[in-house]
């Protein structure tokens, strides 16, 4: 039923009354994910608010453009809007890489503060490409899975830790673990075959890959909160009537609030699902939490050196506004 709903926007009967083509919004993620559901609610809300003058046709699962090509697709006019993960943009837009600095966010309030300080720098970076930021919503935070209890950082030494990029490899090495490259699609198999003893990923990913047969411990370390960002081509926005632009802005603000709430629900429900399958869920012990925060400060300083003054414009107010 959901797939049918997404496709209805593509037919001739779905065109607005005045005959203008609907906007195409490309996303690399599943329509059934909470991000996809949020996009669908945005599209329906904007259509209702404009009386059909602006309709948004959603293209999930990379059907319009692969995830890595969504920003170029919108920039080049193959789509009017798109959704992608911010960490995937860091090579072209370094300021987007703040999402990938580990161990600096401890909870959703921290993630919100980070976005508050990051957004004023992300917006002009997008504007320079002819794009306008609409909103951003995080995925549930990354937790630590292991085959055995972890009381102190030294307990991770010698464990085979799943890695998938340069940052996770470095984390494993700094913790004394052995990096094991495992793509997302192979996580379940790697756990079943006993090829990994630990990994850092979200509770949602753990549930999707049914890791509970091998990884019996999960620690809520909230290592980072990677965000999906939704954006539009500036030329397409300017072509809209003022009322439609206003409706889209209002809808985007509502989608951001709704999406953050949905992310928290997904995180909570996934953790409960892990518990139901026998995974022991805990907060990180104090020694481990302190060590990870120190690693976070190290990663943040390194990122600031790599990115330059713009990075300071995020992290100085971010750390100074912390309540703890």
pLDDT tens digits, residue range 144-174? Answer: 999 999 999 999 999 999 998 888 999 999 9
The boundaries of the domain holding residue 283 are 142-223+279-320
For residue 249, the domain's CATH number is: 3.40.190.170
Q: Which two tokens stand for residue 93?
A: 């837009």
Q: What pTM does this model have? A: 0.88
Same domain for 219 and 230?
no
Distance (Å, rounded) from C-alpha 175 to C-alpha 171? 6
Same domain for 180 and 123?
no
Residue 19 confidence class, pLDDT cut points 50, 70, 90: low
Same domain for 312 and 212?
yes
Distance (Å, rounded) from C-alpha 131 to C-alpha 96? 14
pLDDT tens-place string over residues 191-214: 999 999 999 999 998 998 899 999
Number of Cβ within a 10 Å radius of residue 63: 13
DSSP state of 77: T
Residue 11 confidence class, pLDDT cut points 50, 70, 90: very low
Same domain for 230 and 192?
no
- Cα distances from 232 to residues 167, 229, 238, 245, in angstroms, run 29, 10, 11, 11
Same domain for 178 and 127?
no
Same domain for 132 and 146?
no
Same domain for 46 and 99?
yes
- Cα distances from 285 to residues 149, 150, 218, 244, in angstroms, run 10, 8, 12, 51
Residue 322 confidence class, pLDDT cut points 50, 70, 90: confident
Place of tokens 């009381």: 151
> What's the number of domains the chain is made of?
2
Same domain for 61 and 121?
yes
Number of Cβ within a 10 Å radius of residue 82: 29
DSSP state of 87: G
Same domain for 37 and 84?
yes
Same domain for 87 and 158?
no
Same domain for 239 and 209?
no
Same domain for 88 and 172?
no
Q: Are 9 and 57 in contact (CB under 8 A)?
A: yes
Residue 82 has pLDDT above 90, yes or no: yes
Which residues, including other chains, have CB under 8 Å from residue 19's CB and lie 6 or more apart? Answer: none
Instruction: Tell me if residue 65 falls in helix, strand or coil.
Output: coil
Q: Which two tokens stand for residue 271?
A: 């953790």
């Amino acid at each position: 039923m959901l797939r049918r709903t997404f496709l209805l926007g593509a037919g001739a009967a779905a065109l607005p009354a005045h005959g203008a083509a609907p906007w195409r919004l490309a996303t690399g993620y599943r329509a059934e994910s909470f991000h996809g559901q949020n996009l669908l609610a945005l599209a329906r809300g904007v259509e209702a608010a404009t009386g059909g003058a602006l309709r948004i046709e959603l293209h999930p699962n990379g059907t319009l453009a692969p995830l890595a090509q969504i920003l170029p697709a919108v920039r080049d006019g193959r789509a009017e809007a798109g959704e992608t993960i911010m960490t995937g943009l860091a090579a072209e837009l370094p300021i987007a890489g703040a999402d990938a600095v580990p161990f600096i966010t401890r909870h959703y309030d921290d993630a919100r503060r980070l976005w508050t300080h990051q957004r004023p720098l992300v917006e002009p970076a997008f504007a320079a490409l002819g794009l306008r930021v609409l909103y951003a919503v995080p995925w549930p935070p990354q937790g630590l899975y292991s085959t055995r209890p972890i009381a102190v950082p030294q307990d991770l030494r010698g464990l085979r830790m799943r890695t998938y990029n340069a940052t996770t490899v470095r984390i494993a090495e700094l913790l004394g673990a052995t990096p094991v490259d495992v793509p997302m699609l192979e996580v379940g198999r790697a756990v079943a075959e006993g090829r990994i003893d630990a990994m850092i990923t979200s509770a949602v990913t753990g549930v999707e890959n049914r890791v509970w047969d091998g990884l019996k411990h999960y620690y809520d370390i909230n290592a980072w909160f990677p965000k999906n960002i939704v954006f539009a081509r500036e030329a397409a926005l300017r072509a809209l009537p003022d009322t439609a632009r206003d409706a889209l802005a209002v809808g985007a603000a509502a989608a951001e609030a709704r999406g953050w709430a949905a992310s928290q629900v997904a995180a909570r429900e996934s953790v409960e699902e892990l518990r139901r399958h026998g995974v022991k869920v805990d907060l990180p012990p104090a020694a481990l939490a302190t060590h990870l925060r120190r690693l976070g400060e190290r990663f943040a300083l390194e990122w600031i050196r790599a990115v330059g003054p713009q990075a300071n414009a995020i992290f100085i107010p971010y750390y100074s506004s912390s309540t703890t």
